[in-house]
Chains A and B, each alone.
Chain A
Amino acid sequence: MVIGRPVISGLSGRTWLTTAGVYLASYILLQYSGLPGPRPENIMRVLHTWPAMTGVAALLLAGVSRSYALRSGQDSAVPGGGRFTRGRLSLWGMLLFGAGLLLSSLTRIEGSVTLSEGQEVSLSSGGFDSGTLYRRSFSKEPEGSLLVAEVSQFISDKGRAKRMYEAGALYSGTGKGPLDLRLNSLYPRFAGGFMFEIKDAGYSPHVFLFDPAGNMIDNFYAVLQLSPPGAEDSFRFDRIIPHTIYLKYYPEASLFPDAAAASGIKSGPLFKVRIARNLDVVADRYAAPDDAVYFDKLVFSAGDMRKWVEVRIVRDPGIYLLFPGVILMVIGALSHLLKSPESLA
């Protein structure tokens, strides 16, 4: 009976499979089933992310490969010595992975700030959730300020905007003057011990409210989630009127035949505006930028469109152990799969 035989410093192939099984069970239970409540914000926010998933997948692959090799009797011929055998690579990977998770659960802090193009914010500790009891230097909150210059969106071949963004940002908190960061929504950037990444992005229309005489009552840039085109979000002129304004935005009407036909606007940007006064819908129509939408003796219009980004800022020393651990686990798994014919001789 070779299946249960210890293979990697005391870890059997079955132990590997069970570990991966535990992970999968916890993932399904916490992220999908909803049985224990909403998605957790503790250690699982690292454990259930794609780098950790890659590591567990590598572990599963190595376990399956190892079990298969043992069943077919091939692996019994592999010499066990050597500092960097594939089993040890995976083991070191697992140790780093575990240590990274532990450190992460003790020290990770994260927060996010939402900025429109051209906006600068001071980063204060109030906006950051450490989620840990540890408050010393490893969990230091960011200082200084963050300025987002321009936000650009990737456009597909058909001219439609994708949910991929890039933003030029200046971060002053490193003590060496402002640092130019090129942030994007695909991968994070590291600066001053922090990881910066674009978590979300959208359009921020300049909205106006006028009285019947044409005097401006209020105006501001409303941070809304209007992406992808046709997505709806709402805002209010709080404390001024009781109405809720629902907006949809189409950057180019000609790409959306239904909206263009319904609005009569054949090209250019287009808004769909619905205004509700408590439970009463008082306006529901399409409008071009700066068009007046009349309701209850008031006038609403939406004009200049800026973009906004939600930048997630994370300080997590644990990932510096976790990531190399995942890489080792992947290499270990690959070496199990791609072992040379000589070693089997």
Chain B
Amino acid sequence: MKTAVIMPLTGLIFAFIGAFMQPGAYDSFRFHTSPQLRQNETEAVKNTIKLFSSSVAGFYATGYVAGLTQFPADNLIRRRIFQDIRNWEQSGKKLVMDRDKLTMREVRFITPELAVALAEENWFSVYQDRNTRRQISEKRANLIVVRYYLKKKWGRWVVIEYEVHQQGDKIPPFPVSRVLKW
């Protein structure tokens, strides 16, 4: 009876040792077994997304880069946003976007440093004349579901990619193997 317990236990210990030989395994284990740690990071991810969308609205409304250093986004995303702002300005317009509502549906952690978050967002947008700021289009509602991919860089969460879906669309599963390479 004693051997029957000792042998599988020894096996399990060896399996654990084998599993924890890969890099980052201890941090991952600690993260997944500590509800407090996960809760803290979930809050940090939610705050990052709020800051992301309020920054986007600010950049579009002003056209200025004020707050760019705090903007939690990868360089490619920054470039796409400012390319769009510049395009509108060159055509004499300003796109003003206002976020009306943001509801976090889900935050999932693939690793302690890689998170995927699903947010339901209601935006209103209107075009203004660049110089007079006179409204030149009807206000348009944009009801979307955004899946954000975030990575922890230099101790803070940064949006590295996002997908935009219409509200009511079926959201496809995200490609875990591809995301892990980011």
Q: Which residues of A contact B (CB under 8 A)?
A: 4, 14-15, 18-19, 21-23, 25-26, 29-30, 34-38, 40, 42, 225, 231-232, 234, 241-242, 244, 246, 274, 276-281, 284
Tell me if B11 and A21 are in contact (CB < 8 A).
yes
Chain B residue contacts of A38, Cβ below 8 A: 110-111, 180
- Across the A-B interface, give the 4 residue pairs with the lowest CB-CB distance, nearest first: A36-B25, A37-B28, A25-B15, A242-B80
Most-contacted residue by chain B among A25, A37, A40, A241 (CB, 10 A): A37
**Nearest residue in B to A280 (C-beta to C-beta)?**
B142
Tell me if B125 and A280 are in contact (CB < 8 A).
yes
Tell me if A37 and B22 are in contact (CB < 8 A).
yes
Tell me if B164 and A37 are in contact (CB < 8 A).
no
Min distance, Cβ A4 to any Cβ of chain B, angstroms: 7
Q: How far is the CA of A38 from the CA of B56 in the complex (A)?
A: 32
Residue from A21, A23, A29, A242 in contact with B84 in the complex, judged by beta carbons closer than 8 Å: A242
Tell me if B123 and A279 are in contact (CB < 8 A).
yes
Residue interface bits B117-138, CB-to-A below 8 A is 1, else 0: 0000101010000000000000
Residue from B15, B112, B166 in contact with A29 in the complex, judged by beta carbons closer than 8 Å: B15
**Nearest residue in B to A23 (C-beta to C-beta)?**
B15
**Nearest residue in B to A37 (C-beta to C-beta)?**
B28
Tell me if B175 and A280 are in contact (CB < 8 A).
no
Min distance, Cβ B87 to any Cβ of chain A, angstroms: 8
B interface, size bucket: 35 or more
Tell me if A35 and B163 are in contact (CB < 8 A).
no
13 chain-A/chain-B pairs, Cβ below 8 angstroms: A26-B18, A29-B15, A29-B19, A36-B29, A37-B25, A40-B22, A242-B79, A274-B165, A274-B166, A279-B53, A279-B144, A279-B162, A281-B164
Which residues of B in the span 132-160 have a Cβ within 8 Å of any Cβ on A? 142, 144, 146
Tell me if A22 and B14 are in contact (CB < 8 A).
yes
Chain A residue contacts of B11, Cβ below 8 A: 18-19, 21-22, 25
Tell me if B84 and A35 are in contact (CB < 8 A).
no
Residue from B12, B87, B144, B165 in contact with A22 in the complex, judged by beta carbons closer than 8 Å: B12
Chain B residue contacts of A274, Cβ below 8 A: 164-166
Asked whether A234 and B163 contact (CB < 8 A) given A35-B33, A38-B110, the answer is yes
Chain A residue contacts of B56, Cβ below 8 A: 278-279
Tell me if B19 and A26 are in contact (CB < 8 A).
yes
Chain B residue contacts of A40, Cβ below 8 A: 22
Min distance, Cβ A64 to any Cβ of chain B, angstroms: 14
Residue from B3, B84, B121, B180 in contact with A278 in the complex, judged by beta carbons closer than 8 Å: B84
Residue from B111, B146, B163 in contact with A37 in the complex, judged by beta carbons closer than 8 Å: B111
Tell me if B81 and A242 are in contact (CB < 8 A).
yes
- CB of B62 closer than 8 Å to a CB of A: no
Most-contacted residue by chain A among B14, B18, B121, B144 (CB, 10 A): B18
**Nearest residue in A to B125 (C-beta to C-beta)?**
A280
**Nearest residue in A to B178 (C-beta to C-beta)?**
A225
Q: How far is the CA of A206 from the CA of B71 in the complex (A)?
A: 35
Tell me if A22 and B15 are in contact (CB < 8 A).
yes
Residue from B125, B142, B162, B172 in contact with A231 in the complex, judged by beta carbons closer than 8 Å: B172
Chain B residue contacts of A277, Cβ below 8 A: 84
Q: How far is the CA of A284 from the CA of B166 in the complex (A)?
A: 9
Most-contacted residue by chain A among B3, B19, B123, B180 (CB, 10 A): B19
Tell me if B12 and A25 are in contact (CB < 8 A).
yes
Q: How far is the CA of A21 from the CA of B32 in the complex (A)?
A: 24
Residue interface bits B2-24, CB-to-A below 8 A is 1, else 0: 01100110111011101110101
- CB of B116 closer than 8 Å to a CB of A: no
Q: How far is the CA of A321 from the CA of B95 in the complex (A)?
A: 65
Q: How far is the CA of A52 from the CA of B112 in the complex (A)?
A: 30
Chain B residue contacts of A26, Cβ below 8 A: 15, 18-19
Residue from B8, B27, B164 in contact with A279 in the complex, judged by beta carbons closer than 8 Å: B164
Chain B residue contacts of A21, Cβ below 8 A: 8, 11-12
Chain A residue contacts of B7, Cβ below 8 A: 14-15, 18
Tell me if B15 and A34 are in contact (CB < 8 A).
no
- CB of B97 closer than 8 Å to a CB of A: yes
Additional A-B contact list (6), CB under 8 Å, known A22-B12, A40-B22, A274-B166: A21-B8, A36-B29, A242-B79, A274-B164, A277-B84, A279-B146
Residue interface bits B95-115, CB-to-A below 8 A is 1, else 0: 101000000000000111000
Q: How far is the CA of A11 from the CA of B51 in the complex (A)?
A: 62
Min distance, Cβ B13 to any Cβ of chain A, angstroms: 9
Chain B residue contacts of A36, Cβ below 8 A: 19-20, 22, 25-26, 28-29
Min distance, Cβ A229 to any Cβ of chain B, angstroms: 13
